[in-house]
Amino acid sequence: MITKRIIPCLDVKDGRVVKGVNFDNLNDVSSPVELGKYYSDCGADELVFYDITASSDGRRLFTDILKEVAQNIFIPLTVGGGINTIEDFDRVLKCGADKVSVNSGAIKNPDLINEAAQKYGNQCVVISADVKRVDGEFRVFAKGGREDTGKEAIAWIRECVSRGAGEVVVNSIDTDGVKKGFDLEMLKAVRKAVKVPVIASGGAGSKEDFVTLFKEIPDMDAGLAASIFHFGTVKISDLKETLKQNDIVVRSI
For the CB of residue 157, give the shortest distance to other proteins in the complex, in Å.
15
Least separation, in Å, of the C-beta of 252 and other proteins?
8
Q: Does 36 bind other proteins (CB under 8 A)?
A: no
Q: Residue 104: exposed, middle, or buried by beta-carbon count in 10 A (0-12, 13-18, 19+)? A: buried
Q: For residues 191 and 205, give the distance between their C-alpha atoms in angstroms, rounded to a whole number.
A: 21
Work out how close the CB of 191 gets to other proteins at its nearest, in angstroms, rounded to a whole number.
11
Q: Taking CB under 8 A as the rule, does residue 75 contact other proteins? A: yes
Contact by Cβ (8 Å): 28, 45: no
Q: How many CB atoms lie within 10 A of CB 172?
A: 25
Total of chain residues touching other proteins, rule CB under 8 A:
29
C-beta closer to other proteins: residue 95 or 226? 95
Active site residues per annotation: 11, 130
Question: What amino acid occupies position 95?
Answer: C
- Check binding of 63 to other proteins (CB under 8 A): no
Contact status: 86 vs other proteins (CB under 8 A)? no
Binding mask of the shown chain, residues 167 to 196, with x at each position contacting other proteins by CB under 8 A: x---------------------------xx
Stretch that binds other proteins, among 20-28, 66-74, 174-182, 232-240 (CB under 8 A): 66-74
Question: For other proteins, which residue of 56, 74, 136, 245 counts as binding (CB under 8 A)?
Answer: 74
Query: Across the chain, which distance is largest between two alpha carbons, in Å?
Result: 47
Does the footprint of other proteins cover residue 135 (CB under 8 A)?
A: no
Interface with other proteins includes 34 (CB under 8 A)?
Answer: no
- Amino acid, res. 4: K
Closest approach of other proteins to the CB of residue 169, in Å: 14
56: phi then psi, degrees, rounded to nearest 5: -75, -30
Q: Site mask, other proteins, residues 114-133, x = CB under 8 A? A: -------xxx----------
Query: Is residue 114 classed as helix, strand or coil in its secondary structure?
Result: helix
CB-nearer residue toward other proteins: 93 or 134: 93
Give, for 49, the enclosing helix (H) or strand (E).
strand 47-51
Q: What HEC string does 155-215 produce?
A: HHHHHHHHHCCCEEEEEECCCCCCCCCCCHHHHHHHHHHCCCCEEEECCCCCHHHHHHHHH
Coil, helix or strand at residue 133: strand
User: Residues in the site for other proteins, rule: CB under 8 A?
Assistant: 1-3, 5, 40, 45, 70-72, 74-76, 93-96, 98, 121-123, 166-167, 195-197, 221, 251-253
